[in-house]
């Protein structure tokens, strides 16, 4: 193999260069996956805490995706190949089903949908005083003049 690099030849064996470039390529594809599948190339917020949450959620999803890929690869025939980008898209499209199956496996049974919708629709975030004030004034009886 011929490796073109600016690294000093006397410090790196060709096998070391191949390993370094393979690792670099893995990092590049990882970032491409995070940008395309988890849409981390643009954030619809200026809040750094929201950005951190989105990053952590994407990284956790990526870890789960890769662990599941390892399990699927172990179970599949040896000649079957799972390209990482195709796997990421497949995992993302089945994420809700995966969460549902995992919840059932762990013995979690969510409340009925209608009950959950009614309960959640009544919640008011305690940190929003303007919303609370609006709700309080909207629920007070109006005086007729």
C-alpha span between 69 and 137 (Å, rounded): 54
pLDDT (tens digit per residue) in 66-113: 899 999 999 999 889 888 888 988 998 998 888 888 888 888 877 777
Q: Residues 110-129: what's their mean pLDDT? A: 71
**Per-chain mean pLDDT for the chain:** 81
143 DSSP assignment: P
Q: What is the pLDDT of residue 142?
A: 58
53 in Cβ contact with 25 (< 8 Å): no
Between CA 66 and CA 58 the distance in angstroms is 12
- Please tell me which of 35-49, 50-64, 127-141 the model is most confident about, judged by mean pLDDT: 50-64
- Reference 69, options 85, 82, 57, 55; nearest CA is 82
Domain boundaries, the chain: 14-113
Return the pLDDT at 74: 92
């Amino acid at each position: 193999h011929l490796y073109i690099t600016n690294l000093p030849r006397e410090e790196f064996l060709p096998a070391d260069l191949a390993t370094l470039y393979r690792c670099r390529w893995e990092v590049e594809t990882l970032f491409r996956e995070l940008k395309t599948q988890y849409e981390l190339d643009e954030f619809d917020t200026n809040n750094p805490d929201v950005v951190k949450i989105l990053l952590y959620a994407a990284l956790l999803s990526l870890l789960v995706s890769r662990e599941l890929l390892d399990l699927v690869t172990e179970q599949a025939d040896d000649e079957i190949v799972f390209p990482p980008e195709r796997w990421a898209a497949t995992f993302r499209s089945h994420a809700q089903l995966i969460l549902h199956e995992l919840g059932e496996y762990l013995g979690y049974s969510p409340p009925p949908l209608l009950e959950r919708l009614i309960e959640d629709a009544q919640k008011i975030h305690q940190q929003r005083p303007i919303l609370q004030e609006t709700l309080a004034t909207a629920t007070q009886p109006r005086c007729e003049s």
